[in-house]
Amino acid sequence: MNKNAAAGYRMHHCQCHHQPSPLTKGLEEEIYTGDKQGTVHGLSGALCDRFPGHYDTEPDARNVEYRSAVHRCYAALASDILERRHRLRRDLASLGNYTLVPGATLSLADPDIFMISRPDNAYYQWIRDRYGSRVVTASVHINVGISDVPTLLRVWRTARLDAWMFLALSAASPFLGGQTTGLHSSRWQRFPQTPKLIPWLPDHQTFRRWVSDRLADGQMQSHRHLWTAVRPNGPASPGVLDRIELRICDHIWEPQLLLAITAFFEALVLEIMVDDREPPGDEQQRQQWCSANETAAATHSLDAQAYDWRSGRMASARTIIAQRLESLCPLARTHGFAPYLEPLEQTLDKGSTGQQWLALHHRGLAIADILGHYSAIMVEREQLLAQLIAQGAQSPCAKQCKA
């Protein structure tokens, strides 16, 4: 494998994005901890005990969660997430020869084992007993702030139909238990989406009542037990809502791609905010579109055939996403963050991480070698982005979006 070819693309300085974009953004990363050979180790409990306040445990000890602060500026968001990854690696090194492992499923580990992080935590016990290792995945949740609740819920209703695009771009879990799975995102097909059917709720009162009913009938254990591709969220959900949370993405190891997907989501949210039209179709049709497109994206990522609800036609994921990017780029340019979309062009060209890893595996590379190599490449990409930020090039872009 050509390390330089795998490591990067040209990056130019771009000055059009120095202004903060209109919406706040925050990231929640769930990431595996392990060794440099790609094997995950259960370290989250030790990390949280030794470094309180910096990390959160997940039910299984092999992944850990941390959150960025909320930012409008992409450069500040990038600096924040890079600093948190750097701190985590430093803290892992204090526990032994450990690092961060890319991917969104247990690529090498036995997929049937559950390694509970807090054995005395009753909720973690319930998760383990109900779902088992299906929840032991790694992802990134992208939060975009929307203060007006009716607008937030309208964005949610439309974004549900578009969430599959972000899975197609971020798919990074083709392996499980040392084997290929036939999927580009094994995570999304394994993860227990809950509740199974979520209606297109028309207003805040209906949303609050629906959540209360799901808590009462046991489908949800808490207000946060709304495990779906995208959801409204807030400091006291369902009563107080202030952000839209995209949850469908696999963990995005490449920091510039993470920023690009965040920018793509913000641009989509901005477009929906100014367009008050509801999506077409009745509820059953919308459910079918979401289910079919998400399954297709999990299976084939950017090679998927998907239903484009805007045109009413089936098309390739690459074609649909490229068209959406073209239509959203003027809006992103108006608000100063268009350069951050640039890495998506390369992803559309080269394929998702899942596609790239499968191509390497089909050429004979072992899964452990792929994971170990990309663990090192992740560090290099983060260092490169940090250098660009320090130089004042807050966005690594190869060219401006097309007019």
**3: in domain:** no
Tens digits of per-residue pLDDT, 111-163? 999 999 999 999 999 999 999 999 999 999 999 999 999 999 999 999 999 99
164 within domain boundaries: yes
**Has residue 67 been placed in a domain?**
yes
**Is residue 2 domain-resident?**
no
Question: Quick check: is 142 in a domain?
Answer: yes
Tens-digit pLDDT profile for residues 174-199: 999 999 999 999 999 999 999 999 99
Task: Give the range of the structural domain holding residue 105, as residue numbers without chain letter.
Answer: 15-390
Q: CATH number of the domain that 20 lies in?
A: 3.30.590.20
Q: Report if residue 398 sits inside a domain.
A: no
Query: Within a domain: residue 353?
Result: yes
Q: 80-96, pLDDT tens digit by residue?
A: 999 999 999 999 999 99
* Centroid of chain to Cα 128: 23
10 domain-assigned: no
Enter the pTM of the model: 0.93
Domain count, the chain: 1
Residue 10 has pLDDT above 90, yes or no: no
Q: Which positions ≥6 away from 287 have C-beta within 8 Å? A: 197
Confidence of residue 393 (pLDDT cuts 50, 70, 90): low
